[in-house]
Amino acid sequence: MGKGLLPDTHELAATAARSLAIGKCDVALVVGARLNWLLHFGEPPKWSKDVKFILVDVSEEEIELRKPHLGLVGDAKRVLELINKEIKDDPFVFLRANTMDTGRAVLVQTEPRTRLDAGTWGTMGVGLGYCIAAAVASPDRLVVAVEGDSGFGFSAMEVETLVRYQLPVVVIVFNNGGVYGGDRRSPNEISGPFKDDPAPTSFVPSAGYHILIEAFGGKGYVVGTPEELKSALSESFSARKPAVINAIIDPYAGAESGRLQHKN
């Protein structure tokens, strides 16, 4: 959630090049994050074997656990204020890990505290709850949720809350027909004795998620092309009303990478 402290367009911001940056880093100042799985525990091969970590954390136990080159126990804001008094000219890069790596690399961020992610544990289904809280805290700003069809399903009924309170939230659902994509059974499997037994990770193809918000009086869009998506985004962003954009995408995208099919 530290994304945006440096605009993504800043020359010192490492977004898609994070792995390259941390692999060549000799000294890393870690603030607002911990050396857990999101940052590969600070270990090679992602990090250089000779990297020196300076950890700022409110928990002394966390610092003792990681054994950094230097540990600073204290509130991040206060510690950075003290550091900034000493560092005048030498710039440093702030890196923050998150679970939505694709979104971190693709969605441009230019302002701090305007992005919420699933956090350390990658909790699924928290998107709409986050959006409601953000809309209540900042009623003058548009809130946008980018969700997969699986994550959306965990808390989809919260669209009723959006409509009831007329919150300025637009939900974009990437609908690829399943947790990892659509039903990827072979033709033989589809027509065989288990034809009525689809993979548990697949959903009803092209499900009408946009209809859900329409049932409560919100605005729903279904899009299947970049042009249709652009039009829906323009209209919904301008209206600043509760809306769901059901973006139908290729259910087989990613299968060409060689991953195993998802079966019962």
DSSP 84-143: HHH-SS---------S-HHHHHHS---STT-----TTTT-TT-HHHHHHHHHHH-TTS-E
Q: What are the structure tokens assigned to 127, written together?
A: 């998107």
Looking at this protein, which amino acid is placed at residue 8? D
**φ, ψ at 30 (rounded to 5°):** -105, 115
pLDDT in tens, the chain (264 residues): 466 666 777 776 776 677 788 888 888 888 878 888 878 888 888 888 888 888 888 888 887 777 787 787 877 777 666 656 644 443 332 333 333 555 565 566 667 777 777 766 777 888 899 899 999 998 888 898 888 888 899 999 999 999 999 999 999 998 888 777 776 666 666 666 666 777 777 888 889 999 999 999 999 999 988 889 989 999 999 999 999 999 998 877 655 554 444 433
Contact assessment for residue 35 and residue 29, using Cβ atoms and an 8 Å cutoff:
no
Asked if the domains 1-99 and 124-257 are classified in one and the same CATH topology, the answer is yes
Contact assessment for residue 150 and residue 124, using Cβ atoms and an 8 Å cutoff:
yes
C-beta atoms surrounding 203 within 10 Å: 22
Contact assessment for residue 155 and residue 193, using Cβ atoms and an 8 Å cutoff:
no
pTM, whole model, 2 decimals?
Answer: 0.61
DSSP string, 155-199: SGGGHHHHHHTT--EEEEEEE-SBSSSS----HHHHHSTTTT---
Cα 120 from Cα 86, distance rounded (Å)? 31
Is the domain spanning 1-99 CATH 3.40.50.720? The answer is no
Query: What is residue 218's predicted lDDT score, i.e. its pLDDT?
Result: 97
CATH superfamily of 124-257: Thiamin diphosphate (ThDP)-binding fold, Pyr/PP domains (3.40.50.970)
Query: What are the residue boundaries of the structural domains of the chain, listed by start?
Result: 1-99, 124-257
**φ, ψ at 172 (rounded to 5°):** -105, 120
